[in-house]
Chain A
Amino acid sequence: MAVTPAARRAGRDDVIARLRAVLPAQALLTHPDEMMLYEYDGSALDMALPDLVVVPGDTAETAAAVRIAAEAGWPIVARGAGTGLSGGSVASEGGLVISVARLDRILAIDPAGRSARVQPGVVNVELSERAAPHGLHFAPDPSSQKSSTIGGNAAENAGGPHCLKYGITTNHILAATLVLSDGSIVTLDRQAPDAPEYDLLGVVVGSEGTLGVITELVVRLTPNPERIQTFLAVYDALDAAADTVSAIIAAGIIPAALEMLEGDGIRVVEESVHAGYPIDAEAVLLIEIDGLHEELETQASEIAALCDRHGARALQVARDEEQRRRLWAGRKGALAACGRLKPHYHIQDGVVPRSRLSEVLRLTRSVAARHDLLIVNIFHAGDGNLHPLLLFDVREPGVRERAIAASEEILRACVAVGGTLSGEHGIGLEKRDYMSWIFSDADIATMLAVRAVFDPRDVMNPCKQLPTGASCGEIRHAAGAARAVAAGAWI
């Protein structure tokens, strides 16, 4: 169990001395001014200043730091780029933050094995850039990919638009080196097929830093498609767009990406990004298909027929790479553009069955109206992963409470139609106390039992992801919600 804040303060000098003995001087941050960068993540849901921050340079330094912190009973929070949206990298219980910023090397790219060995601090998009000469890329493309790290992606089991066809991060992690809370190092390697071994790696990916600190990864690289085609389908009615999405999936077509923007979001995106979206549209679909030439021809004609049958006003195809880039810039710039509507936001991340999209989208609109909030849906429609964006101005009295109530109502509706709490942003702090909506006490107790196997001391990112009923603090909802926008994040 983690010790009290008072005990941490009392033992801090001792911990500093022990860390100094095993880390280079520049790898230890002790002053509040230096540590302020580490007190929040992309959600700005909660803020907490860690007791100390270390920036180790290899697995051995990481293991040494973990052992010292764990022996002192301090919480240990691993941190990538801090772009998470559920509070996973916030040191909500204080303790030691381990930044992977110096573990930022691509160690090897193996074109024959279609894999790469990387340190956890490698930025997602950099790996795809480095793999490009081999005709390969790293498929998970979370919206934060220009800044988020592969270690963070693995910890959160991150998604992204192209996960519709290529699967989320867990499908692309082949091995991980993990530092456990006793300072021991274990390699979970699934590069060899059919090994006689429990799939511990499959549990570690998506465990949000609660089982150990990842210090090295082997990831799958995916061959670049022979051809890519991108469409913009334009609608005068939200239902028609949602029904098109359901129809495409029901027809057995799995596009590479199938994204939706609706309502006021289209207008502000167009005003700020000039992506080429019609500003009077009620909804637009961004549909991307990739694969072999012949596959694309078949899929393109099927998709065109389905868009037409479900009432699309227009269907444009990107003529060239520049137009494709602009269409995507609109989607990726949507979150930032919505800052023109209201200064603050809260993003939901619920998932619904693809056949239930239109009813849940309608519900988000009625919820927003009832709570007197502005709502924009910009999301991964193809896999039913909603991102209703609740927009507000916190200076308005009571509005934050209304936004939280509306958000919960939408999430409950997702669960009620057979969906889930999070498609890609994680549980973290934000949804920890909602886990009982979808899991029984026994389900959660089993997950906690598995956590205890990895971390018997309960110091690895404690109080995150699973409700423990233990001495975890209340979740505080911070006010400064516009930070991620300023950082250029998208969802």
Chain B
Amino acid sequence: MELISPTSPEELAAVLAQASAAARPVVPLGAGIHQHLVAPPPPDALRLGTTALDRVLEHVPADLTLTVQAGARLGQVQVVLAGHGQWLPWDPPGGAAATIGGLLACGLAGPLRQAYGTPRDWVLGARIALADGTLVKSGGKVVKNVAGYDLHKLHIGAYGTLGVIVEVTFKLAPQPAAWRTLLAESADLAGALEMAARLAAPPLAPASVVVCGGGTHYRVAVRFSGVPAAVARQGQYAAGLGATALADAAAAALWQSLSDFGTPPDARPLVRLGIAPQQRDAYRTAIDALGAHDGVYQPTIGAARMLCADLAGLAAARAIVEPLGGAVVVEHGAGDAPRWGAARDSARLMHALRQRLDPAGVLNPGRAFVD
């Protein structure tokens, strides 16, 4: 497939305009790390890369704001921010080498979402190249702004089907002064989930609580961030609940592996589950139904990502989760199984929106949930 890597937003937009005019499918591409999350591209598609749009346009440390081009790699941006004691509290899968635009388009987030939320909470504005070649922006560069619709939110998790993100402004956070990670073990999922709930309840306010494993061996990892004394007190409290402290180097490696779980994928189907976090029973029974081999679970968020032996339990898991507003998505290795699950209540609006913003249907056609 042909790859074009424009060196300016205008050039990128012009490529889109031509593709729309010729009705030629376009595959927007960052570092290409997460292309497996959507269906394979049409054979005649043009790959439109953003990696040449990799500049940090404006970092104002005193305002805790950052404007970057979409092709900048998250790992490199974090290095720049770390020099000022700041960061984006965002640890998505493949985050070191993936581009910011690609990560946003895929709507990815990692274990830090427990305390810090998702990029939706940190994006102040964005510049988008629409399918017809128009460059538009929404939001702005200040931390509080209600002027106009927050259209940038539409592109987070849209897999590039509504436009190509070319520039993003973030609110930043100061880096925590201290970290501490503890681990607990459980022979079954129910026990691990119960432990995770206790580790996330007051007086604890963890940065992350994750269950990992499968079969008869599960681990519960918790980490605290903040001022040293508060981190120490929470660490002691968590130890009292039965968790054991982990050394810093081992903790860093553990969290990296938890963030990157399933990335890159192997031969097994990679399944993502999301349900409102209060639906604890449905969460557990849906995971059981999938018969997961191995997984990373965030029960206090209602999220899970699993490698399954097969997809025999997919329909049963969906039957549990979908009536409660949740979803089970086969991120990779779907084979003939339906990747996205049942249509959501907003399907009609979503189709109308896609039709309106990409009338020629050139942006990742047939690849995401909307087609």
* A contacts, CB < 8 Å to B: 110, 112-113, 115, 135, 156-157, 159, 163, 167-168, 170-171, 175, 186-189, 191-200, 202-203, 205-207, 223, 226, 246, 249-250, 252-254, 291-295, 297-298, 351-355, 380, 383-385, 418-427, 431, 435, 438-440, 442-444, 446-447, 449-454, 465-466
CA distance A431 to B146 in the complex (A): 11
B55 at the interface (CB under 8 A from A): no
Interface residue B325 (Cβ < 8 Å from any Cβ of A): yes
Chain B CB within 10 Å — which of A159, A252, A384, A451 has the most? Answer: A252
CB<8 Å pairs between A and B, sample of 24: A156-B146, A170-B150, A187-B345, A192-B275, A194-B107, A197-B327, A197-B346, A198-B162, A198-B346, A203-B149, A203-B150, A203-B154, A249-B64, A250-B61, A252-B86, A294-B226, A351-B142, A353-B65, A355-B63, A426-B146, A438-B140, A450-B357, A453-B352, A466-B148
Q: Are B326 and A252 in contact (CB under 8 A)?
A: no
Q: Kindly state the separation between the CA atoms of A250 and B62 in the bound complex, as whole angstroms.
A: 4
Number of A-B contacts (CB under 8 A): 248
Partner of A353, one of B142, B202, B329: B142
User: Is B203 located at the chain interface by the 8 A CB criterion?
Assistant: yes
Contact partner, B145, options A113, A420, A431, A453, Cβ 8 Å: A420
B356 near A449 (CB under 8 angstroms)? Answer: yes
Within 8 A of A (CB), among B91-131: 107, 109, 113, 117-118, 120-121, 130
Does B153 contact A418, Cβ atoms closer than 8 Å? no
Within the assembled complex, what's the spacing in Å between the Cα atoms of A297 and B229?
Answer: 10
Task: From B151, B229, B301, give the contact of A203 (CB < 8 A).
Answer: B151
Contact in complex: A423, B327 (CB < 8 Å): no
Would you give the shortest CB distance from B7 to chain A, in whole angstroms? 22
Closest chain-A Cβ to B90's Cβ sits at a distance in Å of 14
Residues of B within 8 A of A188 (CB): 345-346
Are B230 and A439 in contact, with the CB atoms below 8 A? no
Are B356 and A199 in contact, with the CB atoms below 8 A?
Answer: no
Contacts of A207 in B (CB 8 A): 149
Enumerate chain A residues within 8 angstroms of B346, measured Cβ to Cβ.
186-188, 197-198, 200
Q: B260-277, CB under 8 A of A: which get 1 and which 0?
A: 000000000000101111
Question: With an 8 A cutoff between CB atoms, is B134 at the interface?
Answer: yes
Chain A residues near B228 (CB, 8 Å)? Answer: 294
Alpha-carbon distance between A179 and B344 when the two chains are bound, in angstroms: 16
**Residue in B143, B150, B349 whose beta carbon sits within 8 Å of that of A383 in the complex:** B143
Contacts of A192 in B (CB 8 A): 274-276, 302, 321, 324-327
B302 CB to nearest chain A CB (Å): 6
Candidates B113, B150, B278; contact of A113 at CB < 8 Å? B278
| A196 and B147 within 8 A (CB) | no
CA distance A212 to B321 in the complex (A): 28
A192-B276, A353-B60 known; A454 vs B150 contact (CB < 8 Å)? no
| CB-CB nearest in chain B for A423 | B144
A259 to chain B: closest CB distance in Å? 13
CA distance A97 to B368 in the complex (A): 39
CB-CB under 8 A from B154, the residues of chain A are: 198-200, 202-203, 450
